[in-house]
Amino acid sequence: MAEVRPTSPLEVQEAVRLHPRLRPKGAGTKPALSAPREGEVVLDLSGLRGLLQYEPEEFVFTAYAGTPVKEVEEALRAHGQYLPFHPPLAGRGATLGGTVAAGLSGPMRERFGGLRDFLLGVRFVDGEGRLVRGGGQVVKNAAGFPFHRLMVGSLGAFGIMVELSFKVFPYPRATRTLRVALGNLAGALAALERLRGLPLDLLALDLIPPATLEIRLGGFPESLEGRLKRLRELLGREGEALLEDEAHWEGVRDLSFLEGSPIWVKVPSTPARIPALEGLPLGPRRYLSGGELLYAGVDPEGLRALRGAGLPHLVLKGAEEALFPPPPPAFFGKVKAALDPRGRLPLG
């Protein structure tokens, strides 16, 4: 299989102009998205890496798109900061570009929002090989068309990202996790909905079906005990408190609970949709962010069931057809035609 490995934006531009069909790849942690189809040349972006700018006091960094999330997070951590949307698969090598293109957020998205809330700017090479900038490098900006937001979940459709700017936040000084079993799905859902509506500032609020909630708190060590106590009172259960919870949540965000499943999917959800989802033949799974985001492991039958039920989803691993449903032609198709008129890039 043909593969190009550019190490500069200019080389990305050259590659795009040279090859009629390309498939961008970061680290390949979402193979369903990055594996080349017939006739495609792989554009491996792992050589375009490195932090370009990071000013802790500005809450902003800019890095090449092929930079591993982990590398960025180490730099942030040295200044007590983090990417609050908690990009998944960081431990497996996921890159910034792959994370944005796949549109993925992890368990801690509950507190401040997802990827779309933290991406500030992009430089990308469009389907004609032109280098285009959208957004900026400051935490607030409303100038021009927001091409950076167009990249979220784009799967490379509009261009190859070469550089990305993100907003970051201070990392909580301490964290605690409460794990509570609630008997049955109905009970767990009721508790979930209750917690969602309260101003508890939870870092993470996950449902592991049928009936377990995992709730993560972050803040001052002095305040956490009181908040944990309040949480227990609200739920009317003691549960189990994890004081050293870091490793646990790193496992969650690397989707280790999907290990062994042939197909990995992301499904946008809502609490109201959970009972229906629970009626499908899905494998290991976890609802993140108060029930808004499901990562599930399925087999081909489960995937057919999702499709049959008309539920939108994205396959990260294990199937050819990654995105369901396809994006709306009236809007998507025109933007695609504007930025990739020759159809060199994936999708559409």
Partner 1 sequence: MGFLEELKALFPPGRVLTREAALAPYESDALTAYRRRPLAVVLPERKKEVVEAVRLCHRHGVPFVARGSGTSLSGGSLPVEGGIVLALNRMNRILRLDPRAKIAVVEPGVVNLEVSRQAAPYGLYYAPDPSSQPISTLGGNVAFNSGGAHCLKYGMTAGHVLGLEVVTPTGEVVRLGGESLEGVGPDLAGFFVGTEGLLGVALEITLRLLPRPEAYHTLLAAYGSLEAAGNAVSQVIRSGLLPGAMEIMDRLAIEAAEAAVGAGYPQAEVLLIVELEGPKEEVEEEAKLLAQVIEESGALEVRIAQSEAERQAIWKGRKAAFSAVGRLSPDYIVQDGVVPRSRLGEALKEIGRLSQEYGLRVANVFHAGDGNLHPLVLYDGKKPGELERAEELAGEILRLCVRLGGSLTGEHGIGVEKKAYMPEMFAPEDLLAMERVKEALDPRGLANRGKVLPEGVVDPRLEGAHG
Binders of partner 1 in range 46-75 (CB under 8 A)? 55, 57-60
Please report whether residue 275 would count as binding partner 1 according to CB under 8 A.
no
CB of 81 vs partner 1, minimal distance in Å: 9
Radius of gyration (C-alpha) of the chain in whole angstroms: 20
How many binding residues for partner 1 (CB under 8 A)?
87
Please report whether residue 243 would count as binding partner 1 according to CB under 8 A.
no
Please report whether residue 99 would count as binding partner 1 according to CB under 8 A.
no
- Which one among 181, 200, 211, 242 touches partner 1, defined by CB under 8 A? 200
CB of 54 vs partner 1, minimal distance in Å: 12
Please report whether residue 150 would count as binding partner 1 according to CB under 8 A.
yes
Q: Are 319 and 263 in contact (CB under 8 A)?
A: yes
Please report whether residue 310 would count as binding partner 1 according to CB under 8 A.
no
Q: How far is CA 260 from CA 257, 283, 298, 299, in A?
A: 8, 10, 10, 10
CB of 335 vs partner 1, minimal distance in Å: 6
Please report whether residue 31 would count as binding partner 1 according to CB under 8 A.
no
Please report whether residue 78 would count as binding partner 1 according to CB under 8 A.
no
Stretch that binds partner 1, among 27-35, 148-156, 238-246, 296-304 (CB under 8 A): 148-156
Residues 106-145 that bind partner 1 (CB under 8 A): 109, 112-114, 116-117, 126, 128, 130-134, 136-145
Closer to partner 1 by Cβ: residue 184 or 223: 223
Closer to partner 1 by Cβ: residue 46 or 295: 295
- Which one among 20, 240, 312, 321 touches partner 1, defined by CB under 8 A? 312
Q: How far is CA 15 from CA 24, 45, 56, 97, 129, in A?
A: 11, 11, 34, 17, 8
CB of 260 vs partner 1, minimal distance in Å: 23
Query: 3-state SS of the chain?
Result: CCEECCCCHHHHHHHHHHCCCEEEECCCCCHHHHCCCCCCEEEEHHHCCCEEEEEHHHCEEEEECCCEHHHHHHHHHCCCEECCCCCCCHHHCCEHHHHHHHCCCCCCHHHHCCHHHHEEEEEEEECCCCEEEEECCCCCCCCCCCHHHHHCCCCCCCEEEEEEEEECEECCCEEEEEEEECCCHHHHHHHHHHHHCCCCCCCEEEEECCCEEEEEEEECHHHHHHHHHHHHHHHCCCCEEECCCHHHHHHHHCCHHHCCCCEEEEEECCHHHHHHHHCCCCCCEEEEHHHCEEEEEECHHHHHHHHHCCCCEEEEECCCCCEECCCCHHHHHHHHHHHCCCCCCCCC
Please report whether residue 320 would count as binding partner 1 according to CB under 8 A.
no
Stretch that binds partner 1, among 88-96, 178-186, 248-256, 268-276 (CB under 8 A): 268-276
Closer to partner 1 by Cβ: residue 257 or 324: 324
Closer to partner 1 by Cβ: residue 67 or 81: 81
CB of 312 vs partner 1, minimal distance in Å: 5
- Which one among 227, 253, 285, 317 touches partner 1, defined by CB under 8 A? 227
Please report whether residue 307 would count as binding partner 1 according to CB under 8 A.
no
Closer to partner 1 by Cβ: residue 46 or 120: 120
